[in-house]
Amino acid sequence: MRLYTRGGDRGTTALIGGERRPKGDRRIEAYGAVDEACAALGLATSLMQADDLRDLRDLSLWLQQRLWDVGADLAAPPSATDYQPKVHASWVDEIEPLIDKYQEEGPPLTQFVLRQGSPAGAALHLACTVVRRAEREAWRLAAEEPVPEPALRFLNRLSDLLFVMARAANARANAAEIAYENSPVVFRDPDRK
């Protein structure tokens, strides 16, 4: 099998179901941004070789698989009537306790922090921002065409999860967080007085 088809040489690409659209189409932009997010997460995963990052590495691999599912859901236009969405609402429910778990590893967050730290932490911060852009692209698409709602919710929670995973990776590496110097106190812990 050849990797190239020449089908895109005239500026269009095929979606699930065979419909062709211009490469600048919102649907193409949305699943392309998810592909970039998956690659950014892959870079982060490659930097998590230390034993104390095994849980983050394993979780990142699971998340990459789920991002492919999100991309598939975004690549399926309404004309793909036989397509069954792959993203499950239960995945969001699975992510929320993980956010709570990894949030406990970093120091209390009161201000915006610079996205840096250990190699794994900085790469997870990068993946977080790429996921946020993918989410924006998916919502732009959803304003024009149907998008499976679980895919949108998953992207929203995923960016939060990647943020706390980055902080956890930095905490494990003893990489100090640097607060944005002009940040006011923006996060308050409701359990603290």
The number of distinct structural domains making up the chain is: 1
Half-sphere exposure of 181 (CA within 13 A, CB side): 0
Q: Is 189 inside a domain boundary?
A: no
pLDDT for 164 equals: 96
**Positions of the chain with pLDDT under 70:** 7, 114, 183, 186-193
Nearest to 86 by CA among 64, 68, 59, 63: 68
pLDDT at 193: 39
The verdict on residue 192 lying in a domain is no
pLDDT of residue 190: 54
What is the pLDDT at residue 189? 60
- Report pLDDT for 22: 77
Q: What is the CATH number of the domain that holds 36?
A: 1.20.1200.10
- In Å, how far are 102, 114, 192 from 99, measured between CA atoms? 5, 19, 19
Report if residue 12 sits inside a domain: no
Please check whether residue 103 lies inside any domain of the structure: yes
Q: Is residue 143 part of a domain?
A: yes
Q: Do the domain assignments include residue 185?
A: no
Question: What predicted TM-score, i.e. pTM, was given to this entire model?
Answer: 0.90
Predicted local distance difference test score (pLDDT) of residue 188: 65
Q: SS3 string of 56-91?
A: HHHHHHHHHHHHHHHHHHHCCCCCCCCCCCCCCHHH
pLDDT in tens, 68-107: 999 999 999 889 999 999 999 999 999 999 999 999 998 8
Q: Which two tokens stand for residue 164?
A: 């706390």
Q: What pLDDT shows up at residue 192? A: 44
Say if 184 falls within a structural domain: no
Is position 191 within any domain? no
pLDDT digit string (tens) for 100-114? 999 999 888 777 776
Write out the residue range of the structural domain in which residue 39 sits: 22-107+117-173
